[in-house]
A and B are shown apart, each in its own frame.
Chain A
Amino acid sequence: MSVITTSALGMAAKGERTARMPFWLQVSTMTWRNLLVAFRTPAALIPSILISVFFTLVYKDLLSGAAAFFLPGKDYLGFVLPISIISASLSGAGVAGQSVVRDIESGYFNKLLLTPISRAAIVLGAILGGAIVLTLQTSVVMLTGLLLGLQPATGIGGVFAVLGYGLLLGMGFAGFTVAIALRSGSAGATQGATFLFFPLTFITATFTPVELLSGWIKTAAQLNPITYLLEAMRALLLTGWEADAMLRGFLTCAALALLMFTFAFFSLRARTQRR
């Protein structure tokens, strides 16, 4: 008589009441959901891709003359592309936080909290979904570079390594916007927060190597994690597999990603603390 009571599947559902979804599956399901939603709002993704491609073109032609001084015989494109990739990653990072704000506003977030899904999976899903979108954006920038004639010193392997750094950095940036979204629940605050990172992309070896900087900006650049990431990417594109630079870059990105995940996780805890 009833669809539900007589259903074998329904019974299965009851039998599974104590079953748990494995953590990795929770994370991949949440990531998939975030990607699904992200690609249904392409208007949010396209501007930051276009602006990144624009900067790549402008930096290349604007500064390649000056670069002859410190990059004799090398391509300025390989020097400037990493900063374009980081900018692309940064300008698109808000998307991850915005999707969390949307979920809070639509009430879907509460719905998820009322299921047995782990809170860490909800946060990780949002961060990973955001980071994957950012990696697609950085891939477009990389492709632009290759089309402009970039010949990476480490070949195709280096290209993927650079994109790997991009993914890790994306997790850090996306984690930051997700954390702000969870803290504030506000679209404006989340969008505004991404600007806090912009100085980091300038107080570093943005257009010249660190050695050519001096004074406070040199000190600041040496403290800035972006510097180590830039050096790792530049090594891959300009000189070759430099283990030291790569490791420093990796550790910096990984530490940033971990820090931001922790920030986001505790922001969720604070938001969902039952009062």
Chain B
Amino acid sequence: MMTEMANGVPAGLLYSKEHEWVKLDGDVATVGITDYAQSSLGDIVYVEMPRMGATITQFDSIGVVESVKAVSDIFTPVGGEIVGTNGELDSDPASVNSDPYGQGWFYKVKLNDLSQTANLLTPEQYEQLIAES
């Protein structure tokens, strides 16, 4: 179980200013959007991500997440090679709303450079960010 801070920000993850979370396991990062993001977007109906093997660059727009009404860019919080995508989202995009830190994960990236995680926010910093927005 992940421990949660105030505002439901899980400890043990890193965050971006664009409201993505990153879970590091060695040099592989799992990426998703935060509870704050899914709540702001509303009912998610579609997620478009890069294909397996694609190379992506930190903070680039690499896909979209679509709610009933709106299309929003995914700015990847980390760069590297895509080594996994959540195929379940094709049939169940609503899991991004119901379980953003679990079943609603987006993709896995093999990091090309571990130092890029220094550009991300700690749970405390992210909590501060959403408290101010």
Bound pair: A and B? no
**Measuring CB to CB, which residues of chain A are less than 8 angstroms from any residue of chain B?**
none
